[in-house]
Structure 1
Amino acid sequence: MKKIEIGKQFISNHLDLFRCPICDQPFAEMTEFSLICPNGHGFDLSKKGTLYFLTHNSNNEYDAEMLSARHQILQAGLFDPIIKAISGQLSEQPETILDVGCGEGTPLAKLEKCRQDLDVAVGFDISKDGINLATQHGANAFFCVADLAHLPFNDHVFSTVVDLFSPSAYSEFNRVIKPHGKLIKIIPNSNYLHELRALLFGDNQPNSSYSNQRVYDLFFEHYPSATVNKLCYQFTIPTGLQQALMLMTPLHWGKNQNEDGKRLVDGLTSITVDVSILVNQFN
């Protein structure tokens, strides 16, 4: 089957997941390769089998070069222990997963392979380039371009929402998560990629250190009963992927970089991945 036909089949089978981002009405029908809401708003499937739900221009800092670098390093396994930890947080029952800010799709594709009992997997991102890359994994997941602040999904349709290093819209998460569902948010800790930061910025620069305390505190303001699991490990960088590691992070465009920093990155052999896995179980 062509990708557009696979996308049509997915939507036809799971029409109840989606609602119109213009009028917030559940979509009423699939006509040929278009989703139509009761008020006549239509959204066409792309040839890659994806949907474009944005109703406004987007500002996206992740360009094609950055996404390609991210694809290379994630395929090489940078986040594999994180994906395994996410899998361990899922229930033994079939899950309906939403991956927030899925980027080029590797984490969701790997999670799906790790947990083949997933019922439904949907990933979305504001980047069309990222979503186009995501369709190349051959995963059974469905991918779309959408706005985090105004999700094109019906109320209480996902058993788990996964937010891996992405911004959050907690009111929207609360709306789309099922009763007794789960929110899993992964945030980087201060030692995340610290070897790369040291090479690029040295000491006593604004980018020399990093804290995610505000994000951490905001999560617990919304979910005071949430739990925290910390995960820290060393990742051996495959030969030739040092520059890809640098390009996949916002660090590569940071101000006040060491003059020789980017050249020194080629000498990195391993990198620290240090994250907190925040989990809220809904009542």
Structure 2
Amino acid sequence: MHKLACPKCHEPLIQIGNSYKCVKGHCYDIAKSKYLNLLLNPDKATNNPGDSKESLIARKAYLTNGYYDIILNNVIDCIKRYRKGNKLNILDLGCGEGYYTCGLNKVFNQDTIYGLDISKEAINMATKYTKDVYWLVGNSKNLPFLNHSLDFITALFTVVNQDELKRTLKNEGYIIHVTANPNHLIEIKELIYDKIKVKSDKYIRLDFETIESYDLVHLIHIDNREDALNLLKMTPHYYHIKKERRNVLDTLEKLSVTIDIKITIYHI
């Protein structure tokens, strides 16, 4: 049984034919590609919020070649480590084009998996992986879920809203938060920036009980230009390259880059 709620009133949503409706009469149609748009106009700053289509295409091409599977597998291990025996409701928050969500669904196929992103383009791409996930367009500041209904929320390189995490997670629920350390993709930063700024991560730490936190450092080797360019295009760094540095794009025949991330498990 799904745990979807109306984003306008947070009453339960019930599927009726090709639509979802709440008791107050709010109605949301299922798109042809089988996703549900639960993003309200007041919850978006532009007509097309989220990552660009170019970035999403690059991300899908890069991730499907397995370079970041070590991250996915660590998240899967975390869920296995802390799950209870009951059937789970797992939300992949800020899921983008759905690669990690699909990976979760393959392992936890007896559980209920949701993938949510603010980008309609991203969710439409995600439906191409599988229809066995509740693919949702929505905002992290107004999650379309019932109060205290989710067992796990995974948040990989994405913005979260603490109040909404607390509202939607069950008591004894878990957040698996994946964030970049200063040396993440350091080789790319060295290619395109004159000076690398090191930012404090204190503003992305969440105010919940931390039950586990560890760094994952891994060197990956990319041996072709296409994958190297796709990695660059799926990051914000690509869009910050100065004109005088554009020539570095011609040097990307091979590339070794460092994955350096922090995985934190919070408990509600």
Q: TM-score, normalised by structure 1?
A: 0.85
1:98-137 correspondence runs (5 A):
98-113=91-106, 115-137=107-129
Q: TM-score, normalised by structure 2?
A: 0.90
**2:7·2:142 contact (CA, 8 Å) conserved in 1?**
yes
In structure 2, the gaps of 5 or more residues are none
> 2:25 is matched with which residue?
40
- The code of the aligned residue for 1:41 comes to H
Identical counterparts, % of pairs:
27
**Is 1:269 the equivalent of 2:261?**
no
Q: Please give the secondary structure, in 2, of the residue aligned with 1:279.
A: strand
Deviation, structure 1 residue 54? 1.2
**Is 1:167 the equivalent of 2:155?**
no
**Is 1:250 the equivalent of 2:239?**
no
Q: 1:31 to 1:224 in 2, by over 3 A?
A: closer
> 2:202 is matched with which residue?
214
In structure 1, the gaps of 5 or more residues are 1-12
Deviation, structure 1 residue 275? 0.3
Deviation, structure 1 residue 238? 4.8
CA distance in 2, matches of 1:128, 1:237: 30
1:27-176 correspondence runs (5 A):
27=13, 29-56=14-41, 57-59=44-46, 60-90=49-79, 91=83, 93=85, 94-113=87-106, 115-138=107-130, 140-176=132-168
Runs of 4+, deviation exceeding 3 Å = none
CA distance in 2, matches of 1:210, 1:251: 14
CA distance in 1, matches of 2:158, 2:51: 12
Deviation, structure 1 residue 179? 1.4
**1:112·1:139 contact (CA, 8 Å) conserved in 2?**
no
The count of residues paired between Structure 1 and Structure 2 equals: 258
Q: 1:238 to 1:121 in 2, by over 3 A?
A: farther
CA distance in 1, matches of 2:95, 2:120: 11
RMSD value, Cα: 1.8
Q: 1:106 to 1:259 in 2, by over 3 A?
A: closer
CA distance in 1, matches of 2:102, 2:200: 27
Identify the structure with the greater helix proportion: 1
Q: 1:71 to 1:185 in 2, by over 3 A?
A: same
Any idea what the Cα deviations from partners look like across 1:7-65, whole Å, max 9, x if unmatched? xxxxxx42xx11111122222x3221111111111000000111001111444251111
